Chain A
């Protein structure tokens, strides 16, 4: 190593508590490197000076604390993920030296945590890019996990002074944001793409930095899909009280005023059907995805919604044909619309396909909404004795 690297042990949780990433003026010597070199602050170190001190890096553990597990859980179920970040910069796992590998990651703490956990027993450097707290794949799609940021970060942490080799290992899913040939041109560092899944890193290293076809392929198992469903259900559930209120008002309105008893007896089954269709679109369709026929998500959601409504419509104890028709038109399409939103979370849907789906689905949704409203109106007017 060309100079002593000072390490400071710190708990990961401490990093999040820092509100500012810029060092106070005149107090730069003792601060870790990320105080001095965030994305928005110009580097303050002059490497040409003879008294250059290489960056201070943090040594981090490859074990997860209870807090890390809790953090992962909160990220999977809530918007807590939006502020789950680590400071960009250079980190040490184990006791790396100038020959150790450099793994690149995002500053979404869960991405960072999964990487450091996969590096158990390995001495390595982790170079965290500023991806605004977004995971590697999504950030690569938005180019925040990108060529410019990687080039900037390599130079900001003086990676050429920290390691004697010239290779960084970038997760394969970071490739949509990184032009490897430009990185080597600008920094001298070659980009090796690691496996899709951080868990395969030890096997990738053991195979001489080669990933098998399997390691290079994105999987989308039922478990992968299941962990995504809470964040499909959450946004819909937030709107559910408004839906329930509208249903209660519609069924409560009588010529004599709003009758609370009628609102409940007439409305509860439709509140229940709303809940069923929501779960059909946001939970059942994602879970059963490969089993449901057809490739279009709108169609898959409609089928699951139709089956769910068929088995639960018995609770609507009515002989009113327009109300029954409304039930079969409105709820399966609600499920279809919600299922369509899952395209944003999958590992295999592309923009051209989703645009094609929307071209035929959106007019159907609009027409169905209008027809549903008309049927409901006819049904209500019939009940009030107007028709």
Chain B
């Protein structure tokens, strides 16, 4: 299943890539593949902007505007004038202990 095409904010800077395989390992949608000694984007429209690749790239070769792809969260953000935020983040959690 694919979502909207040509919308993702994923950017890959090949010149910084050292070919460590981390992005290929962490991407849950197989967006990256190895092209010789460097990674390359295979199918960019599969990207769901989870941010795993950027987070695990020690060389800053990947940037993506990671966030929750959730209509409820984004509408919530619009109404409150803040970043998209839903109630799935534990902010209402009662687990505070001390």
Contact = CB atoms under 8 A, between A and B. Distances in A.
Interface string A317-354: 00000000000000000000000110111111111111
Contacts of A49: none
A177 B56 CA distance: 9
A172 B4 contact: no
A131 B89 CA distance: 9
A205 interface: no
Contacts of A172: 25-26, 28, 52
B28 A196 contact: yes
B17 interface: no
A379 B92 CA distance: 44
Contacts of A163: none
Interface band, chain B: 35 or more
A264 to B, nearest CB: 33
Nearest to B4: A353
Contacts of A176: 50-52, 55, 66
Given A133-B90, A134-B89, A340-B71, A218 B28 contact: yes
Report which residue of A41, A82, A177 has the largest number of chain B beta carbons within 10 angstroms of its beta carbon: A82
B95 A133 contact: yes
Interface of B is mostly: loop
Report which residue of B4, B9, B30 has the largest number of chain A beta carbons within 10 angstroms of its beta carbon: B4
Nearest to A179: B55
Contacts of A295: 2-5
A179 B72 CA distance: 28
Contact of A142 (B25, B58, B89, B95): B89
Contact of A132 (B25, B29, B95): B95
Given A22-B98, A132-B95, A172-B28, A347 B48 contact: yes
Interface string A203-247: 000000001010011101000000000000000000000000000
B94 interface: yes
B67 A351 contact: yes
Interface of A: 20-22, 38-41, 82-83, 85, 107, 130-134, 138-142, 144, 172-173, 175-181, 193, 196, 211, 213, 216-218, 220, 289-290, 295-297, 340-341, 343-358, 362
Interface of B: 1-5, 7-9, 22, 25-30, 46-52, 55-56, 58, 65-75, 78, 84, 86, 88-98
Complex A-B, nearest 5 residue pairs according to Cβ-Cβ distance, in ascending order: A132-B90, A344-B70, A175-B52, A350-B49, A175-B26
